[in-house]
Amino acid sequence: MNAQVQRLEELLVRIERNRRYPRKPLGVNIPAMTAEQAVAAREVSPKPVPATASDSRPQTEHVQVSPKTEVAQAIAPQAPKTAEPVQPVVVVPAAVVLPVHAVAKVVSEVAKIDEPTFGQLLRRSLSLRPS
C-alpha cells in the first residue's frame, strides 16, 4: 500500500513538472551538450531578420570559432599571405615640390663652381686632336 502511494506521488510530481516545463518539439537538449558545442550551436543558429531599414546594413560581425579551433590555428604554421601588397601612401608637402626651372637653376649654380678660367679652357681647346 505504501509502495503504491509512493509511486502515485512520484507520478503526480512528474505530471506537475511536465506541465510547468513542457518539452520543445525539435529543441536541442542543451544540458546534454558540452559548453563548446553550446557556443557553436548558438553562433550558427539563424539570425533574426532585421525589422527596420537601419538594421539592414551589412553584418560586420565575424563568425566566432570555437576555442579549440583558435588554439589549433595559433599553433599551426601560418601560410604566406596572398593578399595584394600594400601600396605606400606618400604625402609630399607642396613646398617640397620644386618647379623644374628651380632645379635647373640649382644645377647651373653648382656647375658654375667648376667653370674653368680662360687659361684653363684655352689649354683644353688647344689639346683637342682629331681622332
Closest to another protein by CB, 57 vs 112, is: 112
Q: Are 43 and 64 in contact (CB under 8 A)?
A: yes
Question: Which amino acid is residue 11, in one-letter code?
Answer: L
Residue 128 interacting with another protein (CB under 8 A)? yes
Q: What is the distance between the alpha carbons of residues 95 and 113, in angstroms, rounded to a whole number? A: 27
Q: What is the distance between the alpha carbons of residues 9 and 3, in angstroms, rounded to a whole number? A: 10
The least CB distance from residue 124 to another protein, in Å, is: 4
The least CB distance from residue 93 to another protein, in Å, is: 38
CA–chain centroid gap for 97, Å, is 36
| Nearest partner of 42 among 58, 63, 25, 22, judged by Cα | 63
Closest to another protein by CB, 84 vs 115, is: 115
Q: What is the CA radius of gyration of the chain?
A: 43
Residue 2 corresponds to which cell in the numbers above? 505504501
Closest to another protein by CB, 87 vs 131, is: 131
Member of 20, 57, 81, 129 binding another protein (CB under 8 A): 129
Residue 114 interacting with another protein (CB under 8 A)? no
Residue 117 interacting with another protein (CB under 8 A)? yes
Residue 122 interacting with another protein (CB under 8 A)? yes
Q: 88-107: which residues touch another protein (CB under 8 A)?
A: none
| Site residues for another protein per CB under 8 A | 115-131
